[in-house]
A and B are shown apart, each in its own frame.
Chain A
């Protein structure tokens, strides 16, 4: 599988650090930021394929961040992390275009699968767009 870039957004530094270490150990290209604002900034500078977003954060919350991210780059896939079974928030996130949601504490492998699925979906979409662009170029 291709290497893809993942951005973790979570205000709990301890949680974030350990998760990053574990992901790196699994050969995933990961970066971490502590707030929604930082996430937006990060995405502007570096290309990111999948964002893992905590819903409950001080300042800009998960839903708001999701909305801004999707506005900047609709192809970015987002996985929501919720602190508890707040189904309403999860549903709202899904409606805004999130790929999936997980509840903390989550299983590392489950998260990994979801990341891969999200990336796969993104690649397929990019492929489609490329093809269509090619067709359009040919048509021209």
Chain B
């Protein structure tokens, strides 16, 4: 029934762990699932709104840029349609048209008319570009093949970034002329550069080769820009969204759209961390709260489990103790029954033996029977047989009274009076061993219901034991009474030799004695135990070797009536 202390400790530790794990699981799982679901939905809706925002911006700017380019083209077309080549070849006319354009639109830097060999025949603008040769220029070749042409941004003959709008015009002779204009890059760039989303969001335009068409807000290596979006199909209309590793290695969202029939790419990019900063913030908050909750749940459940298991442990120990007591009582009872049986069986033969020895003694007294030298020895032996028979009788009688099941008649009993009586009886024995018996009696103790002869037996036994314990050297025996709840407690203490710890547990066992052979039967205390136990009381002992022993006897004020009736 008793577990090894180590194993018990291990078991309790395991129990604490189990409870903590269980409690943490119970409180954390809903927390995590709620948090997870919330974050998932929140991030989804946030991403959607961020993407939508980017899409909107890109779309808007695409339309703006397309409109801008178309407008410039339309201006040029209108000029070409409204004038003849001859008029255009007139520098002063060209200057006047440029002034009108600059006044009205502002973005036109210069105007020029180029013949089909690439020779600029007329020019109006800031630079001295009359008679410039464009026959090898890329834009010229392309413009000759189409009705109109908008070039990429390039450093032209003047070494300034610009792009060119060229329109092919046919004169009355069937010769082709190119009406070209340089467009202010600053104006054009500002359309895109003004785009700013959050801290890192910005836009730029690339051509198919990855060259910037606008000045990017941050200085960047060219060409590296195509790689994040290289896999994407650039839509001529509408917007594509991709999230990929950006040029710095951090996650970036790209929104791209085609311009100029897909020749240019409008890119709007923003770092994911920036775009989703509120999401990340919320996520961090949730993680932080979860962590705090987890820690507090851990701590609380640990302490709760510790307390719970502590209570269990105490309860278990108490139960074990009670179990031991029950076993002890049962042991005493069964030993008692056994003893009673033996006593009964042994008593009659002993009686016969004593009688026979007496008879022999009687016979010895007749002179004529034996007249040998051994007569005295016979006499002595018979006396001894009788004496030992008497000893047997005492033992069996004690055994039988120990096992006796019938209670004596119960009556209301004033313990103090009984103690005085018993102390008076023991006073004579005590004087032989220079022992003083003192009493400290609480006059307010209630009367108890008990058998006077039994209580007397208990008290006499305890006091005599105390006197024996004090020994011949003298000392004190103290008897006190007090009330403790529903019990009247009698303490019998002495200043005697004390009981070694190893023996304390056994002193109530039948036949356990420390007295020399022949002087104690080892039944006194077990009889006391039996009597007090039947009354529903308790007897216990405190002892320190060399200092003394105290017996505490607790008599219940209300005896268990039922039991005594049953026993009787």
Chain A residues near B404: list those with CB within 8 A.
86
Q: Which of A18, A22, A103 has the most CB of B within 10 A?
A: A18
Binary B-proximity of A1-43 (CB < 8 A = 1, otherwise 0): 0000000000010110011011001000000000000000000
A139 is an interface residue with CB less than 8 A from chain B: no
Q: Do the beta carbons of B362 and A25 come within 8 Å of each other? A: yes
Q: Do the beta carbons of B344 and A84 come within 8 Å of each other? A: yes
Chain B residues near A21: list those with CB within 8 A.
359, 362
Contact (A104, B359) CB under 8 Å given A85-B397, A85-B401, A87-B408: no
A62 and B355 CA atoms in complex are apart in Å by 21
State the main secondary structure of chain B at its contact with A. Answer: helix
Q: Do the beta carbons of B355 and A22 come within 8 Å of each other? A: yes
Tally of chain B residues near chain A (CB < 8 A): 25
Min distance, Cβ A103 to any Cβ of chain B, angstroms: 7
Q: How many pairs, one residue from A and one from B, have CB atoms within 8 Å of each other in the complex?
A: 57
Q: Do the beta carbons of B358 and A84 come within 8 Å of each other? A: no
Chain A residues near B356: list those with CB within 8 A.
14, 18
Q: Do the beta carbons of A83 and B359 come within 8 Å of each other? A: no
B400 is an interface residue with CB less than 8 A from chain A: yes
Q: Which of B336-370 contact A (CB under 8 A)?
A: 343-344, 347-348, 350-356, 358-359, 362
Chain B residues near A105: list those with CB within 8 A.
350-351, 353-355, 389-390, 393
Tally of chain A residues near chain B (CB < 8 A): 18
A12 and B219 CA atoms in complex are apart in Å by 130
A83 and B359 CA atoms in complex are apart in Å by 20
Min distance, Cβ B555 to any Cβ of chain A, angstroms: 21
B453 is an interface residue with CB less than 8 A from chain A: yes
A14 and B393 CA atoms in complex are apart in Å by 18
A88 is an interface residue with CB less than 8 A from chain B: yes
B549 is an interface residue with CB less than 8 A from chain A: no
A103 and B397 CA atoms in complex are apart in Å by 9
A134 is an interface residue with CB less than 8 A from chain B: no
Min distance, Cβ A64 to any Cβ of chain B, angstroms: 18
Q: Do the beta carbons of A12 and B348 come within 8 Å of each other? A: yes
A108 is an interface residue with CB less than 8 A from chain B: yes
- A-contacting residues of B (Cβ < 8 Å)? 343-344, 347-348, 350-356, 358-359, 362, 389-390, 393, 396-397, 400-401, 404, 406, 408, 453
A-B contact pairs, 21 of them (CB 8 A): A12-B348, A15-B348, A18-B358, A22-B358, A22-B359, A22-B362, A83-B347, A83-B348, A84-B343, A84-B344, A84-B400, A84-B401, A85-B400, A87-B453, A104-B347, A104-B351, A105-B351, A105-B353, A105-B354, A105-B355, A105-B389
Interface contacts beyond A84-B396, A85-B397: sample of 10 additional A-B pairs, CB < 8 Å, sorted by A: A21-B359, A83-B348, A84-B344, A84-B397, A88-B406, A88-B408, A103-B393, A105-B350, A105-B355, A105-B389
